[in-house]
A and B are shown apart, each in its own frame.
Chain A
Amino acid sequence: MRLYYEIALRSFRRAMTYRTAYIAGLLTNAFFAALRCAVLIAVYQSSGVDSRVAGFTLQDALSYTWITQSLISIGAGWVAFDIMLTIRSGDVVTDLMRPWSFWGYWLSRFWGERLFNLLIRGALTYVLGILYFSAHIPTLGQAAGFACAISLALLVSFGYTLLVNLTAFWLIDNTGVVIIANILLSFFSGFLLPISFFPPVLAALARALPFQAITGLPAQVFLGHVAGPELVQTLALQVWWAVILNGLGLLVLQLALRKVVVQGG
């Protein structure tokens, strides 16, 4: 356990080192959030500012935009590709030979970096939302629920990232898979638009897929749209997808190790 903690800690510190990179990233996210908010304000004005659309008031929609943009750096919209780079270069062999769990190693690295992104980059982005668009400030209960939901979301997101990355064992150049994986994630997770805005068929599809467990559900918990027994249900759903995706990931990893010849030399 100590080992994985140390790996996560180093990953956290590494993320902290690139200060200009995260400040630039943060401003980019904030700029996009501001643009989307302008669009939302305009569309809500056309149907009366006080109206509630698909359960969202204008203020809810603005807060939703800011929270999802703040979650970008923890994987709300795109998958990371560190693992597939090591597969392409052949470095993966060294990692596999080390006396640790390959899954545990990457999960710790992932957690370290994501935790930094959540606590510093994400939080600062959201503060801009609070300052300029009076984004929702969660109550203590909502914040606690969000802490649970986002931890589970990280696990789900890791399982999905692992699966997408492992395709590189078979495909080497898996750019196509990554493009499709990102489309599915950004659209069906509710990152581009809340799922309740979708037409019924698409909404039903989105609710049957794992992606909402990564972005949409934690965002709704944060806004207080999901509370009480519903919150328990939401968390259970996230646990379910975390287990399924990570289980599949481990299974695929076993298959890959049995069959595949590694690149490089």
Chain B
Amino acid sequence: MWSLYWRLVGARIRSQMQYKVSFVLELLGFAVTTGLEFAVVVILFRRFPSVQGWSVVEVGVLYGLSSIAFSLAEMFGRGFDAPFETMMQRGAFDTVLLRPLDSFFQVFASELQLRRLGRTLQGGLVLAYSFAQLSIQWTAAKLLLLPVTIISGTVIFGALLVMGATLCFWTIKTPEVINALTFGGQELTSYPLSIYNRSIRNVFLFVIPLAFVNYPAVLLLLERSDPFGLPAGAAWASPLVAAIFLGIARSFWQLGVSKYASTGS
């Protein structure tokens, strides 16, 4: 399965590398566009001393982790976006169902957008700068927590992309609402979860577990405590949460496929 994945995706990568200048420009374009998000945070912090006692570099750690996870999810998961939507509108999903391979795998392997690494780069820079400004007592556990958090975050954002795509089986067009959860989720997780009111907090901890993208992990890294009593140890639950959420997305996808009625033409 994996060798097939790399063959399919390898073809996508080679085609993207055909126009090197254009590729580099797109990469930089993404880095700058998304950099603007953090510029807004910095400008806000020039006017206000802190957000509930979080300084700008502490918010930078939150932002960096979330931005990296989101960019990786977009890189791997955008097959569930535009290519899939076009497939649905043209009735081309029929072909996918005819092939002797899982439909989820085929759509997943249909795209890998390297240019999204522009955001990864930007998020990485923000994260590196923030770490350099903070004096964190690094331990083996904390170092391990970084990749664990990033991978879990990627999976959580990725599962959201899958759910958005699945709605296509009913609506044909990917509804705009899913942007509220993906881009909105990125914006939401750029600030400490504790600034949101109770209902928003509960939704993003227990229903759509976007909070696990970074918040508990950053509590643990910065040795902060949550004013509402969320234990920092919850950071280690994020892989489990991500796995469950992806499982739900996967089942939802299967349900969508079973309801699929071709647009035909």
CB-CB < 8 A to A90: which residues of B? none
Q: A41-B195, A193-B40 are in contact. Are A24 and B175 (CB under 8 A)?
A: yes
Q: Check A179 for interface membership: any CB of B closer than 8 A.
A: yes
Q: For the complex, what is the distance from the CA of A35 to the CA of B180, rounded to whole Å?
A: 10
A174 to chain B, nearest CB (A): 12
Q: Check B49 for interface membership: any CB of A closer than 8 A.
A: yes
Q: Of the 9-residue stretches A42-50, A107-115, A145-153, A245-253, which lies at the interface with chain B?
A: A42-50
Q: Check B50 for interface membership: any CB of A closer than 8 A.
A: yes
Q: Check A197 for interface membership: any CB of B closer than 8 A.
A: yes
B45, closest chain A residue (CB): A43
Interface residues of A in 19-78 (CB under 8 A from B): 20-21, 24-25, 27-28, 31-32, 34-36, 38-39, 41-47, 53-54
Q: Does the CB pair B184–A35 fall under 8 Å?
A: yes
Interface residues of chain A: helix, strand, loop or mixed (majority): helix
> Which residue of the partner chain, among B26, B39, B53, B177, contacts A46 with CB atoms under 8 Å?
B53
Q: For the complex, what is the distance from the CA of A182 to the CA of B36, rounded to whole Å?
A: 11
Q: Does the CB pair A35–B187 fall under 8 Å?
A: yes
Q: Check A199 for interface membership: any CB of B closer than 8 A.
A: yes
Q: A21-B176, A24-B175, A179-B29 are in contact. Are A42 and B51 (CB under 8 A)?
A: yes
CB-CB < 8 A to A42: which residues of B? 51-52, 191, 195
Q: Check A198 for interface membership: any CB of B closer than 8 A.
A: yes
Interface residues of chain B: helix, strand, loop or mixed (majority): helix
Q: Does the CB pair B52–A183 fall under 8 Å?
A: no
> Which residue of the partner chain, among A28, A34, A44, A193, contacts B177 with CB atoms under 8 Å?
A28
Q: Does the CB pair B184–A31 fall under 8 Å?
A: yes
Q: Check B20 for interface membership: any CB of A closer than 8 A.
A: no
Q: Check A105 for interface membership: any CB of B closer than 8 A.
A: no
Q: Check A192 for interface membership: any CB of B closer than 8 A.
A: yes
Interface core residue of B48, B49, B197, B200 (most chain A CB under 10 Å): B48
Q: Check A187 for interface membership: any CB of B closer than 8 A.
A: yes
Q: A38-B195, A38-B200, A183-B33 are in contact. Are A32 and B180 (CB under 8 A)?
A: yes
Q: Check A264 for interface membership: any CB of B closer than 8 A.
A: no
B105 to chain A, nearest CB (A): 29
Q: Check B32 for interface membership: any CB of A closer than 8 A.
A: yes
Count of interface residues, chain A, beta-carbon cutoff 8 Å: 35
Q: Check B179 for interface membership: any CB of A closer than 8 A.
A: yes
Q: For the complex, what is the distance from the CA of A49 to the CA of B29, rounded to whole Å?
A: 38
Q: Check B44 for interface membership: any CB of A closer than 8 A.
A: yes
Q: Check A229 for interface membership: any CB of B closer than 8 A.
A: no
A53, closest chain B residue (CB): B47
Q: Check B206 for interface membership: any CB of A closer than 8 A.
A: no
Q: Does the CB pair B48–A25 fall under 8 Å?
A: no
Q: Does the CB pair A45–B52 fall under 8 Å?
A: yes
Q: Does the CB pair A39–B195 fall under 8 Å?
A: yes
Q: A24-B175, A27-B177 are in contact. Are A43 and B44 (CB under 8 A)?
A: yes
Q: Check A265 for interface membership: any CB of B closer than 8 A.
A: no
B48 to chain A, nearest CB (A): 4
Q: Does the CB pair A193–B43 fall under 8 Å?
A: yes
B 173-186 binary contact with A (CB < 8 Å = 1; else 0):
00111011000100
Q: Does the CB pair B187–A32 fall under 8 Å?
A: yes
CB-CB < 8 A to B5: which residues of A? none
B 19-36 binary contact with A (CB < 8 Å = 1; else 0):
000000110010011001
CB-CB < 8 A to B46: which residues of A? 199
Q: Does the CB pair A38–B177 fall under 8 Å?
A: no
Q: Check B188 for interface membership: any CB of A closer than 8 A.
A: yes
Q: Check A176 for interface membership: any CB of B closer than 8 A.
A: yes
Q: Does the CB pair B179–A176 fall under 8 Å?
A: no
Q: For the complex, what is the distance from the CA of A39 to the CA of B184, rounded to whole Å?
A: 13
CB-CB < 8 A to A192: which residues of B? 36, 40
Q: Check B196 for interface membership: any CB of A closer than 8 A.
A: yes
Q: Residues on B close to A: CB < 8 A?
A: 25-26, 29, 32-33, 36, 39-40, 43-44, 46-53, 171, 175-177, 179-180, 184, 187-188, 191, 195-197, 200
9 closest Cβ pairs, A-B complex: A42-B195, A43-B48, A28-B180, A31-B180, A24-B177, A42-B51, A24-B176, A46-B50, A38-B196
Q: Residues on A close to B: CB < 8 A?
A: 20-21, 24-25, 27-28, 31-32, 34-36, 38-39, 41-47, 53-54, 176, 179-180, 182-183, 186-187, 192-193, 197-199, 202
**Residue contacts A-B, CB under 8 angstroms, 20 given:** A21-B176, A28-B179, A28-B184, A31-B184, A32-B180, A32-B187, A34-B200, A42-B191, A43-B47, A46-B52, A46-B53, A47-B49, A53-B47, A176-B26, A176-B29, A186-B36, A187-B39, A193-B44, A198-B43, A199-B46
